[in-house]
Chain A
Amino acid sequence: MNEEIAFWMLSAIAVLGALVAVRKRNLIHGVFALMVFFAGLAGLFLLLLAEFIAAAQILVYIGAVGILLLFAIMLTERVAGDDGRRMTSRGWFWGLVAAVAVFVVLLLPPIQQFPSPEHARAIEPSVKELGEKLMHPYVVTLEVLALLLTAALIGAVTAAQGVRMPKEEDSPE
């Protein structure tokens, strides 16, 4: 019973947060709604007993990605959003139709035909095993991921720095 109330409340928070984030004209407000969505999703992960993933969700998404988005918005044009201009793209109607069609035609039927296991099994708190699994069978994946993050960091710095135009060549003296 309590689980059901928590599920409905958290899913309402997540869906409303996502909708506001997607439709809000003011980008800063949109990013804060996105943070609400991430928090709702972290609550759902807790409800599914994935406590480490919930913590990682809060740290990575609300902490890092949210702030990164705020900085990107402040570094690019108008903070208050697309005032006085069209907010939506030219083919917005067909985009809307396509998104709803993906839901109705592609996603919903397989979900409904999927045989649903009614009961979740009881599980132990899993952070310790998660760490051990990361060290034993998945250590290569972990290292590749570290390499990927380093490459992404360097790539992001390089891309944001831009190409320096060689305006003033060092004249030979």
Chain B
Amino acid sequence: MTLHHYLILAAVLFCVGLIGVFTRRNAIVVLFSVEIMLNAANLNFIAFWRYSENPALLHGPLFTLFAIAVAAAEVAVGLALVIAVYRHFKTVDLESMDTLREE
């Protein structure tokens, strides 16, 4: 296995997440598509670390650990916002949240 296999896999996963963000209307699906993209980035960190000159420095796992913690905080706040929006609009459909749009 070379580094390229992992990089291309991470790019594919990132784009799958991007497809979810761009094509779905449900706010929760969009949120977990963002999670897929973040995980693809984590895979890149780990792959670069594994094939780096000096893996003993452990930069990759440390950064990934911090990224996982920030992503967990992000998903908690994001879902709380989705619930707050649901209470207001009675829907999680992103296309019906268009109050700011000029008609």
Contacts and interface: CB of A to CB of B under 8 A. Distances in A.
A, B from the same assembly? yes
Interface of A: 3-4, 7, 11, 14-15, 18-19, 21-23, 27, 30-31, 34, 37-38, 41, 44-45, 47-50, 52-53, 56-57, 60-61, 64-65, 68-69, 71-73, 75-77, 81-82, 85-92, 94-96, 98-100, 102-103, 107-108, 111-112, 114, 116-118, 120-121, 123-124, 126, 129-130, 133-134, 138, 141, 145, 148-149, 151-153, 155-160, 162
Contacts, number: 236
A72 B28 contact: yes
Contacts of B87: 162
A153 B76 contact: yes
A18 B8 contact: no
A76 B65 CA distance: 30
B15 A102 contact: yes
- The binding surface of chain B is classed by DSSP as helix
B36 A34 contact: yes
B76 to A, nearest CB: 4
Contacts of B90: 77
16 contacts: A22-B33, A48-B50, A50-B49, A52-B61, A53-B46, A53-B61, A53-B65, A60-B69, A61-B68, A76-B92, A87-B25, A89-B94, A126-B61, A129-B56, A130-B65, A134-B65
Contacts of B33: 21-22
Interface residues of B, number: 73
A162 B28 CA distance: 18
Contacts of A153: 76
Contacts of B70: 145, 148
A117 B39 CA distance: 23
B43 A44 contact: yes
Contacts of B66: 141, 145
A47 B43 CA distance: 11
Contact of A4 (B1, B24, B25, B93): B1
A50 B58 CA distance: 10
Given A57-B68, A77-B91, A89-B95, A108 B11 contact: yes
Contacts of A48: 6, 46-47, 49-50
Contact of A22 (B19, B51, B65): B19
Interface in B3-39: 3-9, 11-26, 28-29, 31-33, 35-36, 39
